[in-house]
Every structure is written in C-alpha cells, then in structure tokens.
Amino acid sequence: MEISSHLAIRLQYQHKALVDMIDDLSIEKIKIKPIAGKWSINENIVHLQCYQQYFIKRIDEIMETDNPTFERYHAADDPLFAQNCTRVVHEVMHDFFSVRKNLAARLMSFSREQLQRKGTHPYFGTLNISEWINFFLLHESHHLYTIFRLKAEIVHQPKKEK
C-alpha cells in the first residue's frame, strides 16, 4: 500500500492555490483583518507554514515511537508563529513551498509498513500515517477556504465615504 493517488496529488499541489488567491493583493491588504477577532490572510498563511513544521515533527515522532500521543496544536503557543508573522509573506510562502516539496517526496516514498505506523490525536483518536496526511490536508484546505473568503471580504468591502 503506497500513499493513495488523491493524497499524493493534494500533498503536491493543494497549497499552490495560495499563489492564485493572493497574487493580486498588496501586502497591506494581506494584513487586513476584515473580521474582528479573526486572523488576516497573512496570519492564515503563517499558520499553514508553522503547522506544516509541526506536522513534520509529528511524523518524525510517529516513525520513532510506537503510537505516540499528541496534544492539540495551538498557534498562540508556537513562538515560530509570532516570529513569522513579522516576516514578508512571500518569504514565508517560499519556505512553506520548499518544505512542502521535500515533505511530499518523503511521504510518497514511505513503504506500506511505514504508512501503517500510528499516532494518537486527542480529538480524532489513533490514526495511521495515511490518515494523518489526510487530516493535515483537510486542515490546510480549511485555511485555504478561509483565505478565499477573507479575500472576498477585503476586495468587496464597501468604500467608506470621507
């Protein structure tokens, strides 16, 4: 059992939708918070980049330990999140894309036995590597959709009269 084709394709290409979504937005617009108390497009992108690093650590631990148990990830507790929010979004995306290329190649090279290794999530329970990959990609797609919605809020905001 190698990684399924739908996971492989999503792993290699899903994140690239970001380019089309934000290509026509200025840095200023990317940092706008159109919904009070919610993240900006920039913060969502940084979250995806940071969470990807966290996911890699989880995969490493699953490969080294029998059925490790993980805590939920909270961006507020991740010093990398705050640090990367100050970086230029295109640098963050470059890092995100570069790491993803290596991550995808690594995961797609896993053997049947490696894909069956398990780790336990506090909400979703015990998952094998294939299920962890699907969870990772579903989480990412949620944030991509959020970015799509935020862009619509920013682009279609009514202009305030002076």
Q: Where are the domains of the chain?
A: 5-155
- Among 21, 2, 11, which residue's Cα sits nearest to residue 97? 11
The first and second tokens of residue 1, run together, are 């059992």
| Residue 120 main-chain phi, psi, to 5 deg | -110, 125
pLDDT band (50, 70, 90) for residue 160: low
CB atoms within 10 A of CB 20: 9
Give the pLDDT confidence of 38-87 residue by residue, as tens digits: 999 999 999 999 999 999 999 999 999 999 999 999 998 999 999 999 99
pLDDT score recorded for residue 158: 62
- Give the Cα separation of 94 and 15 in Å (integer): 11
Average pLDDT score, the chain:
94
The first and second tokens of residue 37, run together, are 């108390």
53, 145, 161 from 139: Cα distances, Å: 14, 10, 39
- Residue in the block written with tokens 């963050």: 92
Residues 6+ apart with CB under 8 A from 115: 1, 2, 3, 128, 129, 130
The first and second tokens of residue 125, run together, are 């329970």
Answer yes or no: are the C-beta atoms of 122 and 70 closer than 8 Å: yes
| Residue 69 main-chain phi, psi, to 5 deg | -110, 135
Region 82-102: what's the mean pLDDT?
96
Does 93 score more than 60 pLDDT? yes
Which helix (H) or strand (E) element contains residue 120? strand 118-121
Question: What is the percent of the chain where pLDDT is above 90?
Answer: 91
> What is the CATH class of 5-155?
mainly alpha
Answer yes or no: are the C-beta atoms of 115 and 3 closer than 8 Å: yes
